[in-house]
A and B are shown apart, each in its own frame.
Chain A
């Protein structure tokens, strides 16, 4: 099954490139995405029952944590495939539509493939290769429109992430070197599940420096401040479905890379040291994003900075540590991916209807496009962390972890930032949703597919705000155990003492 997961996007992508019919490419892509999503669910249910799955001599190795990120990737890519059908047609030049669509779906599938590889591989080297490959392919997507600004964004994205990723390579090398000092038969392997077993015997000094390089390297990709500078550019210039993918999945994949090393380093280093590093990056990202959100004019840049903010919250959640902090962070990964994709979809619809990304010129969305307008309102309130939506729950979990772990100052900074971010997002989004629309703007939704994609995302956003299904809870619990390194600490017991 894992082989299928890698094969399907590859085959679909190549077919899309060669079939010169846009409609066929769209449907093919949708088919592939739904197949992959189905497989990911099967894989996930399999994993949560017991053993991790492995393939290709252990180069592919999926445990609950990897399975969760795989699920996230494929859930989002399904939603994005649906949205792309409606959106790309409208946003592309009509003349050469079929060719562009073919190319777009080719890149999109390869992009998804590299992300699948990143979260399913059991090898730190392949992890690096696939994350580097995500940069390369998504660069092509960021520069897809080939305009001045998109070229600029693509170049910056490419160079900055390449620098970051080079550091990550160095960090990986150092980790490998450290693991070679372990006098055991696991020489010449970069498989993290094997290194993890003997991780307590790594040289601490080396591991420390190696983790710093990894954190800077993958942190650049994950959008931690101050390495985040490519993020608003790339997110705002990419085609909107790709922005959603970048923000919802790619950042998380890089985070997944950090987590893998965090798990290893956590066994031989002081946990407080690692947590403080993550917490520092988290708070820095959050605070910087806060001020940029407040006076932002471009809708997609606003969302990009909001991604920065949420990555900061996730990093802080892991940094706070403890069952609740990590649980909250993982939950937040899912929540943010859902809500941010929704918001990007909405922004795409709005920018096509109003022919602008400048928020000052978008008004009265609930009147011109009732469904998109509603999604805009609900999505932005969810994004701003208002109950009964899902982000509130995970933010609360993270804040609770922060207070109970004694990081009062950090938690208060997060709280203040959240209020300011709330002001920024709500101010902008309500101004767009309400008031009377400018004259000359057409009425009605763009396309049924875009509405479908929005509604698919809205359902879990609302449900997860008041209810976490058992199977998700299960995955989170197992992932938390993997991250915190505790063997059998079942969350239920942990929480029952809290109530």
Chain B
């Protein structure tokens, strides 16, 4: 656990809010590439949070988390996604189900919900959790899911899923100062493999359906 007074805590709190900001920008993004860049930026913020957490707590294994996040989430996955966008898509728009004003409204609603859950359902206040961390991570998760629900393309769904994972990692790093090392490694490995498999399937879907619009995957019903 971090001490409540240190500078690290302050920084972590603000960086977490930055991640929230990033996810709201993702809601507003109209182009696929921009979405991926914002995601990379958000991951970078996550890496910074891990860094501050590692120094603030003497949780030194978290420094490995920082490297891992930078390699996998800031560089690796965004690169792969950009390659995918390059090779696969003709139209590079996000193609949402709902227009951006409504999305923004919904996203802010979800943020309020996340705070509400922290304050009123968990009844956890300062001293137990950081000011914003649990609710921020919850909000990132919820908005990530919202992105997946309202965006049609396979790639946006992947990004949404990754955003959700970022939210979970935020929670894990800040609340528990990281899980045991083996588990962190295993989780990152799983995420990476997951994204690779998704990438492969996106290719196959493109080959078979001539599009990566997942709303066209609707032949299995009833």
Contacts and interface: CB of A to CB of B under 8 A. Distances in A.
Interface string B144-156: 0100100000100
A116 to B, nearest CB: 16
B20 to A, nearest CB: 16
Prevailing SS type, chain A contact patch = helix
Interface in A143-164: 143, 146-149, 151-156, 158-159, 162-163
A189 interface: yes
A153 B138 CA distance: 29
A126 B220 contact: no
A168 to B, nearest CB: 10
Interface residues of A, number: 51
Interface stretch (A64-72, A127-135, A255-263, A383-391): A127-135
B121 A209 contact: yes
A174 B172 CA distance: 8
A26 interface: no
Contacts of B161: 159, 162-163, 166
A236 B183 contact: no
Contact of A205 (B121, B138, B189, B198): B121
A125 B186 contact: yes
B101 interface: no
B141 interface: yes
B105 interface: no
A71 B209 CA distance: 41
Given A133-B190, A151-B201, A125 B220 contact: no
Nearest to A152: B217
A136 B190 contact: yes
A173 B175 contact: yes
B168 interface: yes
A155 B217 contact: yes
A292 B221 CA distance: 11
Prevailing SS type, chain B contact patch = helix
Contact of A143 (B171, B201, B219): B201
Nearest to B217: A152
A180 interface: yes
Contacts of A136: 190, 193-194, 197
A139 interface: yes
B220 A159 contact: no
Interface in B12-48: none
B123 interface: yes
A177 B168 contact: no
B102 to A, nearest CB: 21
A173 B176 contact: yes
A85 B141 CA distance: 43
A313 to B, nearest CB: 22
Contacts, number: 129
A158 B209 CA distance: 18
B50 interface: no
A236 to B, nearest CB: 7
B112 interface: no
Given A205-B121, A206-B124, A140 B197 contact: yes
Nearest to A135: B194
A190 interface: yes
A174 B165 CA distance: 14
A224 interface: no
B201 A180 contact: no
A173 B204 contact: no
Contact of B214 (A153, A155, A166, A206): A155
B157 interface: yes
B90 interface: no
Contacts of A123: 183
Contacts of B182: 59, 125-126
Contact of B117 (A143, A162, A209, A236): A209
B88 interface: no
B220 A236 contact: yes
Interface string A431-467: 0000000000000000000000000000000000000
Given A151-B208, A177-B176, A236-B220, A132 B194 contact: yes
Contacts of A295: 222
A205 B180 contact: no
A296 B187 contact: no
B176 A180 contact: yes
Interface string A267-302: 000000000000000000000000010011100010
Among B1, B189, B217: residue with most chain A CB under 10 A: B217
Nearest to B118: A209
B164 interface: yes
Contacts of B183: 123, 125-126, 129, 190
A190 B194 contact: no
A162 B165 CA distance: 10
A249 B44 CA distance: 39
A176 B180 CA distance: 10
A156 B194 contact: no
B122 A205 contact: yes
A297 B165 CA distance: 38
Interface in B166-222: 167-168, 171-172, 175-176, 179-180, 182-183, 186-187, 189-190, 193-194, 197-198, 201, 204-205, 208-209, 214, 217-220, 222
A169 B222 contact: no
B190 A180 contact: no
A129 B204 CA distance: 26
Contacts of B141: 166-167, 170
Interface of A: 59, 123, 125-126, 128-129, 132-133, 135-136, 139-140, 143, 146-149, 151-156, 158-159, 162-163, 166-167, 169-170, 173-174, 176-177, 180, 188-190, 205-206, 209, 232-233, 236-237, 292, 295-297, 301
Interface of B: 1, 117, 121-124, 137-138, 141, 145, 148, 154, 157, 161, 164-165, 167-168, 171-172, 175-176, 179-180, 182-183, 186-187, 189-190, 193-194, 197-198, 201, 204-205, 208-209, 214, 217-220, 222
Given A149-B220, A155-B214, 4 more contacts: A125-B182, A166-B168, A177-B171, A188-B180
13 contacts: A59-B182, A125-B179, A129-B187, A143-B201, A151-B201, A152-B220, A156-B220, A163-B148, A169-B187, A170-B168, A170-B171, A177-B171, A177-B176
| A-B complex: 10 closest residue pairs judged by Cβ atoms | A125-B183, A129-B186, A152-B217, A177-B175, A233-B220, A173-B172, A132-B190, A166-B164, A205-B122, A170-B168
